[in-house]
Chain A
């Protein structure tokens, strides 16, 4: 094969009990993301560009837990992680805990391409973002009502429970947003 591409937008306990229009919207968004990558690769573009642009689209799409539409932390913020790796050369770049980078995958690629290091975290990653000039946004950019409501339910359940941080989305969140119930991230 000259090229091949695969993408995902999260996994978990995804309810099939939703309106067809909602299901179709997800299918349409996945189809659009796939088309973006296909066009790049079919035109002879690089796998690096295809991967970055596909993920950029999904990051900008509020249905998915990345970029706009990212889930909330306990403190009501958004902390984003991303990683980028080229297998042939074993080059890699990653960022963790960034709060103002619109497209973390683009910053991760820049870490790979312009830094001698592999990972930058939190304030350091923000400073590196300043240096390489990726697009920045306020935390409000990442806000979605459904994610905010999911956090409130998680906090309520935590208060009623044993106080431990759960790695699983609370049970009631399974119906909060289509496919968002156990999209662990």
Chain B
């Protein structure tokens, strides 16, 4: 699975995800990626793209959970991402990238690794795989 999230100079917040699914899938199985609010979601506060065990991500309504946690708790992007990955989902199930409307970036996982990268207009830049 691959994904990207971005906020631009006009404040547009966008999320996208694309995947081949899981090896050996049957019966027209559909994972979390195309389910809005699950593996892909964007609101007026945050854009989220997930990767990992699709069924777990769907059951947690992951993308929408992050957005709602930020809006209604209220919470920061980091708090919302940690809530999803550490309190809702179980270890080994998922990775997540997100940007909020202020340009804050969140990339984390409860697996041992995630191929990822991030960058912003202030020169912060990272490419990483493991912790």
Binary contact track B78-115/A, C-beta < 8 Å → 1, others 0: 00000000000000101101110011111101011111
Kindly list chain B residues whose C-beta atoms are within 8 Å of the C-beta of A34: 117-119, 125, 127
Q: In the complex the two chains form, is A84's CB within 8 Å of B114's CB?
A: no
The CB with the most chain B CB atoms within 10 A, among A1, A87, A88, A165, is that of A87
Bound form: Cα–Cα A30–B119 in Å: 12
Instruction: Tell me whether A66 and B116 are in contact in the complex, defined as CB-CB below 8 angstroms, given that A26-B129, A50-B6, A90-B43 are known contacts.
Output: no
Q: In the complex the two chains form, is A87's CB within 8 Å of B119's CB?
A: no
Kindly list chain B residues whose C-beta atoms are within 8 Å of the C-beta of A42: 121
Q: Which of B24, B26, B112, B117 contacts A31 (CB 8 A)?
A: B117
Q: In the complex the two chains form, is B92's CB within 8 Å of A86's CB?
A: no
Kindly list chain A residues whose C-beta atoms are within 8 Å of the C-beta of B4: 5-8, 33, 37, 50-51, 54-55, 58
The answer to the question of A71 belonging to the interface, with a C-beta cut-off of 8 Å to chain B, is yes
The answer to the question of A162 belonging to the interface, with a C-beta cut-off of 8 Å to chain B, is no
Interface size on B, residues (CB 8 A): 79
Interface size on A, residues (CB 8 A): 93
Kindly list chain B residues whose C-beta atoms are within 8 Å of the C-beta of A72: 23-24
Can you list 28 A-B pairs, Cβ within 8 angstroms, ordered by A?
A: A1-B121, A5-B4, A6-B98, A9-B114, A11-B113, A11-B114, A13-B111, A14-B130, A26-B129, A37-B6, A51-B15, A55-B4, A65-B1, A71-B21, A73-B24, A81-B19, A82-B17, A82-B18, A82-B19, A83-B34, A83-B39, A87-B15, A108-B34, A119-B36, A168-B53, A179-B129, A184-B1, A185-B1
Residues of A within 8 A of B (CB): 1-14, 16, 23, 26-27, 30-31, 33-34, 37-38, 41-42, 44-48, 50-52, 54-55, 58-59, 64-67, 69-75, 78-88, 90, 92, 94-97, 103-105, 108-109, 118-119, 121-122, 142, 147, 150-151, 154-155, 158, 165-169, 173, 179, 182-185
